[in-house]
Amino acid sequence: MKLSDVESHMKKAVESTQRSFNTIRTGRANASLLDRVSVEYYGTPTPLKSLANINTPDASTITIQPYDKSSLNLIEKAISLSDIGLTPNNDGSTIRLNIPPLTSDRRKEFVKLAAKFAEEGRVSVRNNRRDGVDAVRKQEKNHEIPEDEAKDLQDKIQKLTDKYIDQIDKLLAEKEKDIMTV
C-alpha cells in the first residue's frame, strides 16, 4: 500500500463526513437535506434528485418538481416515510416542504448527530492509518523496505492522520456553529 493510497482513502473519509453533515437540517432550506431520500420508482429505489428538480425559492421552503407527473404521489410518500421530519404539501404539480424554525432542543439533537458523523469519519481515518501502518510493517518484515524507511513512512502516515482528523474537527465546528445560529 502506497502513501498516496492511504491519503486518498483518508480524503474520501473526510468527503463522506462532509456529505453526512449536509444532510443535517440547520433551519434553512437546503436541497441536500433530501440526498438520503430514495423513491420506489417502477420497483427500483431511485434517488429523489434523479426524479425531480429540487429548488429552494426562499430560506424556509424547498420545492420539488417531478420530471414525470405520475411519480408525484410516490415522491410525496417517500418524503413522508423518510427520517427528515418534514411534511410534504402536494399541489398537483409541485411538492412544497416548509422548513420550520428549529427549537433549541432540536438544535442540540442535530449537534449530537453531527458529532456522531464526525466520530464515524475519525474512525474511518484511523482505520486507514492502521491499514497503512500494517502494510508498511508487513513490507518491513518481508525485507522489502529497510527499517528506517518503514519508520519514515509510519511517521508520514501519522501526520496524514492528524491532518485529516483536524479537517474533520474543523468541519464539525463549522457545522455546529451553523446549526446553533438562529
CA 111 to CA 96: how far, in whole Å? 26
In the three-class reduction of DSSP (H, G, I as helix; E, B as strand; rest coil), residue 54 is classed as strand
Per-residue pLDDT, 21: 87
Per-residue pLDDT, 1: 65
Cell 474543523 sits at which residue? Answer: 170
Give the global pTM: 0.73
For the chain, which domains are there?
3-22+103-180 (1.10.132.20), 31-98 (3.30.1360.40)
Nine-digit cell string for 95 = 411538492
Residue 22: CB partners within 8 Å, gap ≥ 6?
30, 32, 35
Per-residue pLDDT, 15: 93
CA 27 to CA 4: how far, in whole Å? 39
In tens, the pLDDT along 128-173 reads: 999 999 999 999 999 999 999 999 999 999 999 999 999 999 999 9
CB atoms within 10 A of CB 43: 6
Window from 6-20, 99-113, 158-172 with minimum mean pLDDT: 99-113
In tens, the pLDDT along 16-72 reads: 999 888 888 777 778 888 888 888 888 888 888 888 999 988 888 899 999 988 888
- How many CA atoms are closer than 13 Å to the CA of 52, on its beta-carbon side? 31
| Cβ atoms 78, 4 nearer than 8 A | no
